[in-house]
Amino acid sequence: MRIILRADSGFSLHKIVTTCERAKVVYVLGYRRNAVLERKIQPVLEQARVVACLNGDGKARLFEDVYYAAATWHEPRRLVMKAEWLPKGPNPRFVLTNLDWPPQHLYDRFYVQRGATSEHPIKELKLGLQAKRLSCHQWVANQFRLLLTQAAYILMLSLRHAATGTRLAQAQIERLRSTVIKMAARVRVSTRRVLVELAAMFPLPRSSVASLTS
């Protein structure tokens, strides 16, 4: 089995990288810029600036890789550099890796894809459902609160799936909460049926609500 650790710069610590290498784990980690790296990427950034001017739109992206060794490292490691020039100026990025893939392929086709598979759902959990509210004194209590938040997230995903074909099909969790969950309704229970009366501004088709509640 091949294990690949893909994460942002918060995980590019020397101990984590060393542990990956000892365990033969492949890593692709964002790396924070510093004075040494800014000097290394400066020639490529200058090339990107020239290309951006020639393109006419003020944008250009060039990729390069170097071997870099921080003061605490025993040996150099491969560092992929993205030299991007935007109308507002330079936008350099660095990725530390032991993969031998071409620089642009590694950055565009693999590293940045972590957002769609992990970071966006985590962001929805934290911002849309306030998963970071773990203020209980006991660890088990906080674990249970997080479990409830995850259950709520699954419910919201089901609601978003039910909104297929509407303007809420790609809505964020916060928008679903404000436009659907917090929407007022009147429920009437009789011996034969349960009647749910929704406001005229309710954004989903009535059939999708019926399938979700059933």
Structure tokens given for 196? 């749910």
Would the pLDDT of 57 be above 90? no
Distance CA 28, CA 58 (A): 29
> Considering only CA atoms, which of 89, 108, 87, 96 is closest in space to residue 18?
96
Distance CA 64, CA 81 (A): 5
The percentage of residues in the chain with a pLDDT greater than 90, rounded to a whole number, is 50
Q: How confident is the model at residue 203 (pLDDT cuts 50, 70, 90)?
A: low
Residue entry with tokens 């972590």: 114
pLDDT in the model for residue 102: 95
**What pTM was computed for the model?**
0.63
Alpha carbon of 107 to those of 62, 82, 112, 160: distances in Å?
11, 8, 6, 30
Beta bridge partners of 94: 81
**Domain residue ranges in the chain:** 4-112, 120-213
The tens digit of pLDDT for each residue in 65-98 reads 999 999 889 899 999 999 999 999 999 999 999 9
- Quote the mean pLDDT of the chain: 87
The tens digit of pLDDT for each residue in 19-32 reads 999 999 999 999 99
Q: How confident is the model at residue 117 (pLDDT cuts 50, 70, 90)?
A: low
